[in-house]
């Protein structure tokens, strides 16, 4: 086998159930990839990540080329050995990080020159260099270097950016070293413009890749616009290759995108939210720092089998965060990743059973239920009402808690969209 394999096992409407085969094992799709920015999924061991059901991780070219350097990772046996993960790895190209560092970089036809956010040193990243770095990392799925078009962008800006990315895609393909079990994905760009997305799909299909990513989303456009772009882009894409929606997302995003034919996802949302006190559960989200959880003996999610839900109460998890104990972020990260894998497992089974719309609709309805009612505090002082915190305003429980003060990202103009802000924060910092 040259490249990676993809078998389409079942469909239900546009939803797809598949299997990707690589040199380091198989990936059942639809699949969610935890983000291991700097060769680690923050607050987790690789054994713990595997126990959630994750079959592939994402590594970050930009961060690893700066520290410890791709040459050092290669000298130490490649990324799988370096981080003790013997399953597949996908590495992004560095394009998103370059876009987010707009004040520190200059673009040209040749590539991008940028200053390191670590020490200010200057680096030059070209399509050829990006592919070389990912080769040294021993990535199973390599991504073409592209310019991630910012949002909003005029039609002229988006067209220029997309066509540059298509020229870089050809150079990336020419630089890629084909070998069994390793593949290269092209990235569809074109912002929110149907004609440009169609041109991008056609250009990448003509070049020929092992898989195709949909880029330029989760950058502030909102879910409705994202789904609209998928509605006119996915039908144009080849059917016998995996589709990867980059940087997405929340559980409702995953469900909606699988409904529209997407196979693979990554996002920092479950890990970063776990570190800052937000838990994703079947009925929405929970901010475990809220006082209403301080005396609650119930688990985060009664239907979850993760260690946090099996062994610890909300009251204990609340205590860990209030006491700034590192176990709190570890347990919530573990829970969130386990929950995300549960969502993917449920969708895979529903597609196989031909019940995707019924199951997806039930999941979406439950996500809108909101958290269970708070219980009374059994040790509240007589004559005083139980201390449960202020009653949440509509939508308040779903809002992410404040990020750690030492990891807030520089201003990028995208902070109005929570998902975009989360992604930029994870990718631009090294916490």
Token pair of 345 as six digits? 């497992």
Known binder of ligand: residue 80?
Answer: no
The alpha-carbon radius of gyration of the chain (Å, integer) is 21
Judge whether 406 counts as a catalytic residue: no
Known catalytic membership, residue 92:
yes
108 marked ligand binding residue: no
- Sort strands 122-125 and 141-143 into parallel, antiparallel or unpaired: unpaired
Taking CB atoms within 8 Å and a gap of at least 24, the contacts of 410-416 are 410/103, 412/100, 412/102, 413/150, 413/220, 414/150, 414/151, 414/219, 414/220, 416/220
- Catalytic residue (choose from 92, 253, 263, 371): 92
The answer to whether the annotation marks 319 as part of a ligand binding site is no
Return d(Cα 246, Cα 186) in angstroms, integer.
Answer: 12
309 is in an annotated binding site: yes
Tell me: is residue 413 an annotated ligand-binding position.
Answer: no
Whether 95 has a binding-site annotation, put simply, is yes
β-pair partners for 213: 187, 244
Ligand-binding annotation for 256, yes or no, is: no
- Burial (Cβ within 10 Å: 0-12, 13-18, ≥19) of residue 282: middle
Q: Is 116 annotated as a binding residue?
A: no
Contact of 213 with 246, CB cutoff 8 Å? yes
Instruction: Answer yes or no: is 278 a known binding residue.
Output: no
Sheet holding 122-125, edge to edge: 105-107, 112-115, 122-125
Give DSSP secondary structure letters for 76-124.
TT-HHHHHT--S-EEEE-SHHHHHHTGGGEEE-SS-EEEE-TTT--EEE
- The answer to whether 318 and 228 are in contact (CB under 8 A) is no
Question: Does 216 belong to an annotated binding site?
Answer: yes
Check the annotation: does 335 bind a ligand: yes
Cα 314 from Cα 325, distance rounded (Å): 15
Catalytic residue among 266, 296, 342, 427: 266
Q: Is 306 annotated as a binding residue?
A: yes
The annotated binding site for substrate is made up of 92-96, 146, 189, 216
The annotated binding site for Zn(2+) is made up of 304, 306, 309, 335
Catalytic (active-site) positions: 92, 266
The annotated binding site is made up of 92-96, 146, 189, 216, 304, 306, 309, 335
């Amino acid at each position: 086998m040259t490249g990676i394999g993809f078998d389409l096992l079942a469909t239900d409407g546009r939803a797809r159930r598949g299997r990707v085969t690589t040199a380091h094992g198989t990936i059942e799709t639809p699949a969610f990839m935890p983000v291991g920015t700097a060769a680690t999924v923050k607050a987790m061991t690789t054994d713990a990540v595997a126990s959630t059901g994750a079959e592939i991780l994402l590594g970050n070219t930009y961060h690893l080329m700066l520290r410890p350097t791709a040459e050092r990772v290669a000298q130490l046996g490649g990324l799988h050995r370096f981080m003790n993960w013997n399953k597949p790895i996908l590495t992004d190209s560095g394009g998103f990080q370059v876009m987010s560092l707009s004040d520190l970089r200059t673009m040209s036809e040749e590539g991008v020159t940028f200053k390191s956010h670590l020490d200010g040193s200057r680096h030059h990243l070209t399509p050829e260099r990006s592919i070389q770095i990912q080769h040294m990392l021993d990535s199973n799925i390599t991504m073409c270097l592209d310019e991630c078009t910012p949002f909003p962008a005029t039609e002229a800006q988006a067209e220029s950016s997309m066509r540059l990315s298509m020229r870089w895609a050809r150079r990336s393909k020419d630089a890629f070293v084909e070998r069994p079990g390793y593949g290269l994905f092209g990235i569809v760009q074109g912002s929110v413009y149907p004609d440009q997305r169609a041109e991008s799909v056609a250009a990448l299909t003509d070049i020929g890749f092992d898989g195709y990513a949909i880029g330029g989303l989760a950058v502030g456009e909102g879910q409705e616009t994202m789904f609209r772009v998928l509605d006119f882009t996915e039908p144009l894409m080849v059917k016998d290759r995996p589709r990867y929606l980059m940087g997405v997302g929340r559980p409702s995003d995953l469900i909606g995108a699988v409904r529209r034919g997407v196979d693979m996802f990554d996002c920092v949302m479950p890990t970063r939210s776990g570190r800052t006190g937000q838990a994703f559960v079947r009925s929405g989200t929970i901010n475990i720092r809220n006082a209403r959880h301080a005396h609650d003996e119930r688990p985060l999610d009664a239907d979850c089998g993760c260690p946090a839900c099996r062994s610890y109460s909300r009251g204990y998890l609340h205590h860990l965060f209030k006491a700034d104990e590192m176990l709190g972020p570890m347990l919530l990260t573990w829970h969130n990743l386990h929950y995300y894998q549960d969502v993917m497992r449920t969708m895979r089974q529903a597609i196989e059973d031909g019940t995707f719309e019924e199951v997806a609709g039930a999941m979406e309805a439950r996500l809108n239920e909101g958290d269970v009612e708070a219980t009374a505090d059994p040790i509240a002082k007589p004559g005083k009402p139980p201390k449960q915190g202020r009653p949440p305003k509509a939508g308040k429980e779903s809002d992410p808690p404040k990020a750690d003060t030492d990891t807030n990202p520089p201003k990028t103009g995208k902070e109005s969209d929570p998902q975009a802000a989360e992604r930029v924060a994870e990718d631009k910092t090294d916490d």
